[in-house]
Amino acid sequence: GGPSMVRAAAKNHPSVAVVVDPASYGAVLAAVDAGGFTLEARKILAAKAFRHTAEYDVAVAGWLSSVAEPEGAELPSWIGGTWTRSAVLRYGENPHQQAALYTGAAGHGLAQAEQLHGKEMSYNNYTDADAAWRAAWDQDKACAAIIKHANPCGIAVSDISIADAHLKAHECDPLSAFGGVIAVNREVSVEMAERVADIFTEVIVAPGYEDGAVEVLSRKKNVRLLRATPPQSGYTEWRQI
C-alpha cells in the first residue's frame, strides 16, 4: 500500500525525491525549476517521509494494541509516540543545560498555548506554568494558583470572582509569589490585571482575558501572557524517571 511505496521511495533517496508534506511543495517546485534536487535535499525529504510513516505506524499499533487489551485493563500494555521540536529554549533547568520544546500529534497540553505578550518561554517557565495550570483546573470554583521554582506559593478559590481568588492566593505568601507563575481557571478580569500589573510576575496562564486586561498587563514588557485550553482528561501522562 501507500506506506510501503513511501518507505521504498525514501530508501531510494539517492535517486528519488519523495514528497509527503504539502508544506514542502514550494521548495520542491523551486528545485524542479532550478534543474533538480541535490542529494542533501533528497535526504531531507526522505527523513520527512520516514517520520510520516513512523507516525502512521505508531497510530495503527496503538489502536490495535488498545482493542487487543484484556477486558477490564485500565492502562495500556504498550505506548508509542512521536514528537516534533517546536522551539529551542534559552536554556534548561540551569543556565549550563540545553532545552527544547517538543509537541506530539495529539495537540493537547500547555505546549499548545498561544502566547499573547512577553519574552520567549524558558524551561522553568513551562514546568512552573504546567504545575500551576493543573492546580487551578483541579477546582470547579474560580481558582488561582501561584507557583515558583516548582513550589506552590498559594492556591485559593472564590465564590466572588477570579480577582478575589488571586488576592487570596497571593496573600498566602506574598514574598515567595514575587517572580512566580500565575494560572487561573477563569478569564483574567481587568480588576485582577490591575492588581497583578503591580507585582513582578514571570508568566500568567488563563483560558482567556477580558477586554482591556491584556493592555493592562502589557505595561510590563517581559511578562509572558498565555491563553490555553483547559487540561484534557482521559489521556495517559508520561513522566521520565
Task: Please indicate, yes or no, whether residues 50 and 149 belong to a single structural domain of this protein.
Answer: no
Task: Please indicate, yes or no, whether residues 56 and 139 belong to a single structural domain of this protein.
Answer: no
Long-range CB pairs of 102-106, under 8 A, 24+ apart, other chains included: 105/55, 105/59, 106/235
Q: Is the pLDDT of residue 107 over 80?
A: no
Q: How far apart are CA 96 and CA 113, in angstroms?
A: 27
Q: What pLDDT is stored for residue 125 in this prediction?
A: 96
Final residue of a structural domain among 17, 36, 67: 67
- What percent of the chain is helix, strand and coil (3-state, nearest 5)? 40, 20, 40
pLDDT, mean of residues 95-120: 89
Q: Is the pLDDT of residue 96 over 80?
A: yes
Q: Is residue 77 part of a domain?
A: no
Other CB atoms within 10 Å distance of the CB of residue 115: 14
Q: Is residue 97 part of a domain?
A: no
Task: Please indicate, yes or no, whether residues 132 and 221 belong to a single structural domain of this protein.
Answer: yes
Q: What pLDDT is stored for residue 235 in this prediction?
A: 67
- Written as nine digits, the cell of 199 is 507585582
Q: Is the pLDDT of residue 159 over 80?
A: yes
pTM here is 0.83
233 falls in which pLDDT band (50, 70, 90)? confident
Task: Please indicate, yes or no, whether residues 118 and 221 belong to a single structural domain of this protein.
Answer: yes
List residues with catalytic annotation: 11, 149
Structural domain span for residue 183: 106-227
Q: For residue range 162-181, what is the model confidence (pLDDT) as tens digits?
A: 999 999 999 999 999 999 99
> Chain centroid to CA 130: how far?
9
User: Cell 521548495 maps to which residue?
Assistant: 27
Q: What pLDDT is stored for residue 23 in this prediction?
A: 93
Task: Please indicate, yes or no, whether residues 46 and 133 belong to a single structural domain of this protein.
Answer: no
Q: For residue range 36-91, what is the model confidence (pLDDT) as tens digits?
A: 999 999 999 999 999 999 999 999 999 999 888 888 888 888 888 899 999 999 89
Task: Please indicate, yes or no, whether residues 123 and 206 belong to a single structural domain of this protein.
Answer: yes
Q: Is the pLDDT of residue 185 over 90?
A: yes
Q: What pLDDT is stored for residue 37 in this prediction?
A: 93
Percent of the chain exceeding pLDDT 70 equals 98
